[in-house]
Amino acid sequence: MSHPRRVIAAAVPLAYLLVVGTGTALAATGNVKMIESNERYAFSPKTIAVHVGDTVKWTNTSDASHTVTADSGGTIDSPTIAEGKTFTMTFDTAGTIAYHCTIHSYMHGTIDVLAAGATPPATDTAVVGSSANGSNDVGAVLVVLAGLVGAGVAGRLLARVGNRP
């Protein structure tokens, strides 16, 4: 049987990736959700890459209405999208389009429309344990680890996390 410290040493890097994430992951082309996390709304993923001719679908999974409005140029201008409703748009020109919600001015997103056949870059996604304001719940992951490998080792790790400057 593995020693608890070896188990925790192997589990902590994995837990860190789950909580903090790498910041990038390949998004499902064409799908953006409007979500709520820690009482803040956000587009998820915040950045998405599609090809010319692709259609993007925004789905409102939150409890408030939202819009999808281009920051400049009027390329995207949705009506108000109620809870549970969707808005779709097909992109015919390559370029980068920054957009926002006119109801919640802090909600921002970007669409990179690539030429046909171009390889899309990695895009950001909502990360488990990450909130819309960028905070992470490391303590919750360590509590889960405590249940897996014993309260003594994980308890010491929690104490160390709590004592950081």
Model confidence over 94-152: pLDDT tens digits?
999 999 999 999 999 999 999 987 776 664 544 444 444 444 444 444 344 344 445 45
108-114 and 47-51 strand pairing? parallel
For the structural domain made of 24-126, what CATH number should be given?
A: 2.60.40.420
Task: Please check whether residue 113 is in contact with residue 93, taking contact to mean a CB–CB distance below 8 angstroms.
Answer: yes
Q: What is the DSSP string of the chain?
A: ---HHHHHHHHHHHHHHHHT--S-BPPPTTEEEEEEETTEEEEESSEEEEETT-EEEEEE-SSS-B--EESSTTS-B---B-TT-EEEEE--S-EEEEEE-SSSTT-EEEEEEEPTTPPPPPB----TTB-TTS-B-HHHHHHHHHHHH-HHHHHHHHHHHHT--
For residue 122, the model assigns a pLDDT of 60
Of residues 5 and 116, the one with the higher pLDDT is 116
Instruction: Considering the chain, tell me which residue range(s) the CATH 2.60.40.420 domain(s) occupy.
Output: 24-126
Mean pLDDT of the chain: 72
For residue 77, the model assigns a pLDDT of 94
For residue 104, the model assigns a pLDDT of 97
